[in-house]
Chain A
Amino acid sequence: MGVGLPMDVVLGVVIKCLVFFFIVVTAVAYMVQFERKVIAHIQSRIGPSRVGPMGLLQPLADALKLISKETIFPRGADKVLYLLGPVFASAPAFLSYAVIPVGPNLSMFGQEITLYLADINVALLFIFAVASINIYGVFLAGWSSNNKYSLYGGLRSSAQMISYELGMGLSVMGVIMLAGSFSLVDIVNAQAKMPFLLLQPVGYLMFLIAGLAEINRIPFDLPEAEGELVAGFHTEYSGMRFGLFFLGEYANIITTSCIAVLLFWGGWNGPGVTQYPWLGPIWFTIKLVPHLFFMVWTRGTLPRFRYDQLMGFGWKVLLPIGLANILITGLIIALTQR
């Protein structure tokens, strides 16, 4: 190889990749369980409670069921695209974790360990780039299933995702201006004194709303609406292929929450982090849980938007508010830095 990387660096990266991957997969599995329990309590029932204590082994049972189901292949479906759909829907969700920092640098075993896989100087844009690839999964699945409900679901969903991607991009512009960098590590470090939530409240709200729409969650889940479109773009998928869509959706929920915490709630900053750096990941998790709860809470409580209302909101309300936010933020920054 023309790249001379020392062996311990490569080993460190590989180990971090494996650790991140396993943590994320477990988190996704238990996110499903968390959601089912919380929605159940919202609806005055208990939720899965039979498998294991408090239903904690339910994700394992679900995974086993999905793996052992018969996988079908609809007649007339485009073979390559049908198989690629779930891949594009779930791989990008995991790819974003390559740039998410969960804590400050630790010194363990005599070495300085960074709690992120990569600190690239366009990390935030990288996450948006990866989110754009998610769109392909959705409408490839919709189109290749040779099913009109899937097609409608896929088209609606991808139109929605593109529209709200703009909103998401604009909402984080204020944060980028305040931090002066696209790198997530820099952004977290810039919030050591004060989280950007206090400086960019509008941006935070916009990001939450656009994030919900981007990952196709209620109240923006018309493309997957049961009862309207059967199951939208993943109607014709069964077994582990459907499992991959599921995995991708819940991983996206966690990713969006992680980014909201990093950009607006100060990431892993918190009292005591400078003396005890291992408190960083703990603060990060403490800040993450309310966001996950918020995502589940909105699902259990709100009705879904009609499609034209959804698109109208994205283009006619969110976009102008985002632009106004950038304008005001830029003005204030320019005036206070003279």
Chain B
Amino acid sequence: MWIFFLLALLVVAGALAVVLLPNPIHSALMLVFTLMATAGIFLTLGAQFLAVIQVIVYAGAIMVLFVFVIMLLNLRAGEGGEESLHRKTGLGQILGIGLAALLMLQIGLLVLTGKPSLLKSIHPAAELEAQAGGHSQAIGLLLYGKYLLPFEVASVLLLVAIIGAVALSRRHLVIGPGRDESTEEVP
């Protein structure tokens, strides 16, 4: 039990550090720290596959790309912080506060009623894992069995995102004066 509180403390401290540190690379690294602590919480719940996948994919690949971008753009502390924290109240603030309130409400309800989830269709992990023969196997059976369509839709989404990124970052086609329609595409 104390492990959960320790990890939860690390997650919250890391998340606060992400938002409050002035140097962007330090923020990104504290986010990595937060993700590792979250993986630890997954481990305390017995979700080993999720924990390692969290480290491999999120902390190990996505955050590396984040830090890449920060390094390549050479962001420094204070750059881009010209807008102060006290902006005028706009739609963004209202939505943000509204969503946070919703989250608090949901957590409060869960704690008070003691139910595992407010949704009706949940899968009790112990049963599934005993049936499937382990945690990874249970995830595999669910992902490729009952939730195959959402899985495939998610991969199509990722493909669309990749194509969109390539299309956005391509340089414009150049048509020189007096030449025919041949264009040079810069990869």
Name A residues whose Cβ lies closer than 8 Å to a Cβ of B.
1-2, 78, 80-81, 120-122, 125-126, 128-129, 132-133, 135-136, 139-140, 143, 151, 155, 158-159, 162, 165, 182
The CA-CA distance from A126 to B56 in the complex, in Å, is 9
Interface contact B60-A139, CB-CB below 8 Å = no
A22 to chain B, nearest CB (A): 27
Scan residues 28-82 of chain B and give those whose CB is less than 8 A from a CB of chain A. Answer: 29, 32, 48-49, 51-53, 55-56, 59-61, 64-65, 67-68, 71-72
**Closest chain A residue to B39, Cβ basis:** A129
By a CB distance below 8 angstroms, the chain B residues around A128 are 52, 56
A212 to chain B, nearest CB (A): 19
Name B residues whose Cβ lies closer than 8 Å to a Cβ of A.
1-3, 23, 25-26, 29, 32, 48-49, 51-53, 55-56, 59-61, 64-65, 67-68, 71-72, 134-136
Chosen A-B contacts, 16 in total, with CB atoms closer than 8 Å, are A78-B23, A121-B134, A121-B135, A121-B136, A125-B56, A126-B52, A129-B55, A132-B59, A132-B60, A136-B29, A139-B67, A155-B71, A155-B72, A162-B65, A182-B49, A182-B136
Interface contact B32-A125, CB-CB below 8 Å = no
The CA-CA distance from A151 to B73 in the complex, in Å, is 13
A2 touches which of B2, B59, B61 (Cβ 8 Å): B2
**Closest chain B residue to A144, Cβ basis:** B25
B45 to chain A, nearest CB (A): 14
The CA-CA distance from A165 to B3 in the complex, in Å, is 31
By a CB distance below 8 angstroms, the chain B residues around A125 are 49, 52-53, 56
B48 touches which of A121, A139, A140 (Cβ 8 Å): A121
Interface contact A132-B71, CB-CB below 8 Å = no
Interface contact B52-A158, CB-CB below 8 Å = no
B144 to chain A, nearest CB (A): 12
Interface contact B68-A155, CB-CB below 8 Å = yes
